[in-house]
Amino acid sequence: AQSVAQPEDQVNVAEGNPLTVKCTYSVSGNPYLFWYVQYPNRGLQFLLKYITGDNLVKGSYGFEAEFNKSQTSFHLKKPSALVSDSALYFCAVRRGGYQKVTFGTGTKLQVIP
Amino acid sequence: ETGVTQSPTHLIKTRGQQVTLRCSSQSGHNTVSWYQQALGQGPQFIFQYYREEENGRGNFPPRFSGLQFPNYSSELNVNALELDDSALYLCASSLGGASGTTDTQYFGPGTRLTVL
């Protein structure tokens, strides 16, 4: 079985401050990890993924995520938040060699002007 | 935009009816996955189609079925609709293999299904 936990339903951050959205996962075998963002009434937009290699992954719109195998975490980060970053963020995991992608319940990011 | 399109955008059905949702995958992609996203929840994996064959399935009953066509577009069919089937249905396309690949899934905008 595989699972994803996003422990915070909502994260509030002031514009210009760094942001972190937390994600921990559970999967047997090698994890493929993903972050997606969803704006109201829209589908999911891909931000970044970790498959193998460097633990720090850089993605779209200035976002990055750090893979930590010992803590089974894949937190999303951005050095300076924008109001336009306000949206719903989903972490997802897939076991290597399998099709099923499991998503977390999402974290609402609110960037305050 | 991802190049993945879905139709219709919105749909209202009554309990017991049947519905067909459609998805056109991004050019060059051969794999389509379908997800159900209930209000306030993350997407739940329904199934995946690779080269016209079902290639993985989540915990959904058989009344959820699908097709993939030679051009890699796909349909999701739901029979005997229940109230709990009300959700946003998302399709995602990717360039995959029979056992999955590292490729990213790109999502369409979704179809909002309401069952009354």
Residue A41: predicted pLDDT: 75
Residues of chain B positioned with their CB less than 8 A from the CB of A104: 42
Please, what is the average pLDDT of chain A?
Answer: 93
What's residue B80's pLDDT? Answer: 97
pLDDT band per the 50, 70, 90 thresholds, residue B76: very high
Question: Is A76 in a helix, a strand, or coil?
Answer: strand
Q: Would you say residue A94 has pLDDT above 70? A: yes
Q: What is the mean pLDDT of chain B?
A: 91
pLDDT value of position B99: 54
Taking a C-beta distance cutoff of 8 angstroms, is the pair A20, A73 a contact? no
In this model, does residue A18 exceed pLDDT 80? yes
Nearest alpha carbon to residue B20 among B71, B91, B107, B84: B91
Of A19-23, A51-55, B96-100, the one with minimum mean pLDDT is: B96-100
pLDDT for the residue numbered B102: 55
Whether the predicted pLDDT of B97 surpasses 70: no
Strands B19-24 and B31-37, by their bridges, are unpaired
Residues A10-23, mean pLDDT to the nearest whole number: 98
What is the per-residue pLDDT for A42? 78
Strand-pair category, B111-115 with B10-13: parallel
pLDDT at residue B56 in the model:
86
CA distance A19 to B52: 42
In chain A, which residues have their Cβ closer than 8 Å to the Cβ of B104? Answer: 34, 46, 49
Contact A99 B107 (CB under 8 A): no
d(CA A54, CA A43): 29
Q: What is the pLDDT of residues A79-93, one digit of tens each?
A: 999 999 999 999 999
**Does residue A25 have a pLDDT over 90?**
yes
Best B6, B25, B106 member to test A by mutation, with max A CBs in 10 Å, is B106
Structure confidence at residue A105 (pLDDT): 95
User: How many angstroms separate the CA of residue B38 from the nearest CA in chain A?
Assistant: 10
For residue B10, the chain A residue with the least C-alpha distance is A41
Res B1: pLDDT: 64
